[in-house]
């Protein structure tokens, strides 16, 4: 039997297999961060396609926490109501609905990439962004405002409120986004955090906000539902003081103690000068494997996972508990069903499609 199609139980939530649809920005909210028919079709088709866990894109906890004006958000009852049909459909197809809660920080206020990706000034529909300190290293980006103590408390409260709304919308898994150069990651890295208060300088201070948000979300997230945290294992900035794999190794057991059931290990995204030595199959999996050596939390791996046997080996060899697959799910919404067939498992195609199998 394959290991990829073994069920995964976290707390009292069970996924039918070890395949998760990675959070992937769609930039398709046409009005104030509300979910649309696109989200129903995009996320719903991956549930129909056999994935065990289907996670939304980075979902902003506040309007200024969006990457672009077209980002998905969750800061009001109206946002929860728009997402509720999506979670209901995902669950009806046998998958677990999950949501990634995020704040873009100084990477906010940009046009969607397929519209150029340029920074948007307030006169162009943009907004003032927030950051731990320092300017964002792009000439066209809005100048970020260094966060005050009150700003930090407000952001923590926004994550909590968004988690509560996620429950109302029907999600079973929440993930705190502390990767890819967004706000919480900006606090983690000395390359972007130059504060001299209790949220800056030392490792213990720089990880404080991610830990406080994780604990705060865990307090309102039900005991029977799992909590994930996504981190960038490294900034890929070897020539400057930055966040490194060894920092992630130090952070991982702390996050587990704070209530994280699974750590979703990615990398990079903080700075345009990052140096990625290579990409290809499993190129980030060694980071996940190393982090998994030091924590009781389960580990999810990402990066160049495109093949059924490759994903199965990842689980079989204990390198991760969850194969988190992004771009291959864009190419093939039915990746999990095709993977089951490739591994000799029974592929449970929707009854509406079985005459084509």
Contact 230, 178 (CB under 8 A): yes
Nearest CA among 283, 320, 321 for reference residue 305: 283
Whether the Cβ atoms of residue 30 and residue 24 lie closer than 8 Å to each other:
no
d(CA 288, CA 323): 11
The helix/strand/coil state of 221 is coil
Helix (H, G, I), strand (E, B) or coil at 344: coil
Tokens (6 digits) for 334: 């039915």
Distance CA 66, CA 109 (A): 7
**Is 299 buried (19+), middle (13-18) or exposed (0-12) by CB count in 10 A?**
buried
Phi first, then psi, for residue 348 (nearest 5°) are -85, 75
Cα 205 to chain center, whole Å?
Answer: 23
* CA atoms of 312 and 333, how far apart (whole Å): 18
> Which of 27, 20, 25 is closest to 49 using CA atoms?
20
End-to-end CA distance of the chain: 21
Query: Cα–Cα distance between 199 and 208 in angstroms, integer?
Result: 6
Rounded distance, CA 307 to CA 86, Å? Answer: 27
φ, ψ dihedrals at 325, nearest 5° = -120, 125
Residue 182 appears among annotated catalytic residues:
yes
**Dist. CA 21–CA 16, nearest whole Å:** 13
Residues in the chain: 357
Catalytic entry in 27, 136, 182, 334: 182
CA-to-CA dists, residue 142 to 58, 117, 181, 262, 269, angstroms: 21, 13, 16, 34, 18
| Residues designated as active site | 182
């Amino acid at each position: 039997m394959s290991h990829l199609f073994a069920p995964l139980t976290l707390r009292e939530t069970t996924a039918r297999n070890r395949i998760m649809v990675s959070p992937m920005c769609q930039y398709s909210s046409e009005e104030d961060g509300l979910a649309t028919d696109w989200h129903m079709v995009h996320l719903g088709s991956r549930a129909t396609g056999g994935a065990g866990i289907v996670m939304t894109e980075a979902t902003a906890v506040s309007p200024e926490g969006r990457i672009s004006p077209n980002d998905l958000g969750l800061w009001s009852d109206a946002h929860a109501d728009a997402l509720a049909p999506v979670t209901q459909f995902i669950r009806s197809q046998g998958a677990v609905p999950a949501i990634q809660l995020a704040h873009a920080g100084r990477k906010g206020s940009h046009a969607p990439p397929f519209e150029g990706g340029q920074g948007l000034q307030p006169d162009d529909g943009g907004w003032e962004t927030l950051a731990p300190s320092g300017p964002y290293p792009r000439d066209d980006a809005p100048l970020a405002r260094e966060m005050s103590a009150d700003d930090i408390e407000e952001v923590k409260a926004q994550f909590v409120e968004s988690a509560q709304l996620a429950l109302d919308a029907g999600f079973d898994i929440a993930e705190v986004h502390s990767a890819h150069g967004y706000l919480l990651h900006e606090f983690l890295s000395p390359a972007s955090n130059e504060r001299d208060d209790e949220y800056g300088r030392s490792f213990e201070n720089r990880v404080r906000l991610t830990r406080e948000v994780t604990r705060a979300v865990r307090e309102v997230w039900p005991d029977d539902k799992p909590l994930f945290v996504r981190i960038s294992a490294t900034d890929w900035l070897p020539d400057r003081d930055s966040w490194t794999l060894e920092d992630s190794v130090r952070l991982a057991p702390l996050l587990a103690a704070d209530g994280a059931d699974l750590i979703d290990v990615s990398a990079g995204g903080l700075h345009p000068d990052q140096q990625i030595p290579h990409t290809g199959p499993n190129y980030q999996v060694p980071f996940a494997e190393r982090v998994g050596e030091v924590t009781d939390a389960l580990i999810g791996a990402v990066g160049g996972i495109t093949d059924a046997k490759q994903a199965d080996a990842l689980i079989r060899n204990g390198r991760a508990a969850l194969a988190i697959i992004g771009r291959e799910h864009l190419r093939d919404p039915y990746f999990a069903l095709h993977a089951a067939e490739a591994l000799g498992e029974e592929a449970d195609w929707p009854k509406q499609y079985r005459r084509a199998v």
